[in-house]
Structure formats: structure tokens, C-alpha cells
Amino acid sequence: MAAGSRVFEGSNLSMSDLTSSSTQIKPNEQRPEHPDFWCKRFGEGTTPWDAGKVPAAFADFIARHPTPFNTLIPGCGSAWEAGHLAEYNWPVTALDFSPAAVNTAREVLGDAPVDLICDDFFTFIPRRPTQLIYERAFLCALPRKLWADWGRRVAELLPPDGLLAGYFFLCDQPKGPPFGIQPEQLDELLAANFERIEDVAVNDSIPVFLGKERWQVWRRR
């Protein structure tokens, strides 16, 4: 679930580097746009977004697509889904900007053939073309000020007919993480560059998302 920071245009500074007293209101471990926020939670074992297993709609999606996609998982956290993809010989890159999350994922994955990388989603350059971006508790980990950047970035990374698939936390929950997004806000982020081709209820949500998430697949125009 760990979020990603953003590099400002014309600068070598990312959001996590802006530490002057005039801009930093909270310490880094209280700012979800900073790796320290997530390192603290993984270090404490406070990860209520982690189901500890592969969710059903995701497993069904993989079963319905026998031809592997080059897959990117931003904010991979413990990376359960990355391990599942590797079992089916899908090329997968699991990405997180929290070193503690990456260490946890490494323990979960063991020797699974997954490219596990500690990097920032907003500046990361994939080693191979991305055909599928899997969304699971990443967008809802981002403060709202980063939503537009997320929408632009997924559009940049996917070619025409590429897929954005996953779970979206659809509700009015301004305090987070998880931060809820209203359906019309999600449409505003994606509709210009994507067409939604699947939208179904989720029946195996963990408590933090219960009754407020949907499985959706968006195809790049």
C-alpha cells in the first residue's frame, strides 16, 4: 500500500525531500507521501490493508487471461499478488518506495521470479514495456493532492489497449489513509485516457475496505 512521492518539475527535489520548516507541517513518519510513514507501519506490523492472501477477483482475472502481461504493481506492500503472477509465469515488477515494505515483500516472495524494486512510482522507469498496472491499496494511500499525478502517470506508462485493473476504494473518506475517492472523481482522473470495461462488487473485502470497494478494469484508449 505504500504511496509514492513526486519530483517537482524543474527541480531535483521530491516531496519527501522538502523538509524546511516552512513547508513541513508534520514529521515524515506522519506524512503518507513519505517513505518513513510506511516504514514505521511495516516495522510495527500495523498493516490493516494487507489481507495476507490473493484476493478472489484478481485471481479470477488472471485465470481469464492465459496470455501473460508485463505487469507493474505500484505500492506492492507485501506483494502477495506478485507471487501469484510469478506462479503463472507472468513477468512482474513489484514496486514500493518504502524499504521496509520491500523487505517484507522479499520475505513473502522468497525465490519467486519477481523484479522487486524500491523506487518512486512517479519517477520510476520500467525495464520493459508495461501492459498491465495492478491497483491494490495504492491510490487510496495517496493524499488527494497527488491524485491527478497518479492519473497522468498510469496513462503515461500504458500503451493503447494496456490495462489498469484492480480494486478501487469508492467512498467519501477524506481522512486517511485509506483515502476514499468518489466514483465521479475516479472518472475524472481516468475517463479522458481510459475506457472502463469491468466494474463489479467485491465479496471478499478486508474490514478496512468492507462495502466500499469495487473491482474495475480500465483499458487505455
Domains of the chain: 15-220 (3.40.50.150)
Q: What is the pLDDT along the chain (221 residues), one digit of tens a residue?
A: 666 654 434 444 444 444 444 455 789 989 999 999 999 999 999 998 998 999 999 999 999 999 999 999 999 999 999 999 999 999 999 999 999 999 999 999 999 999 999 999 999 999 999 999 999 999 999 999 999 999 999 999 999 999 999 999 999 999 999 999 999 999 999 999 999 999 999 999 999 999 999 999 999 99
Buried b (16+ CB within 10 A) or exposed e, 147-178: bebbbebbbebbeeebbbbbbbbbbeeeeebb
Report the C-alpha gap between 46 and 210 in whole angstroms: 18
Q: What is the DSSP letter of 192?
A: T
The model carries a pTM of: 0.88
Report the C-alpha gap between 176 and 143 in whole angstroms: 8
DSSP assignments along 66-79, one per residue: -S---EEEET-TT-
Report the C-alpha gap between 221 and 209 in whole angstroms: 29
Please state, in angstroms and as integers, the Cα–Cα distance from residue 169 to each residue in 15, 131, 211, 213, following that order.
24, 23, 9, 4
Report the C-alpha gap between 129 and 144 in whole angstroms: 28
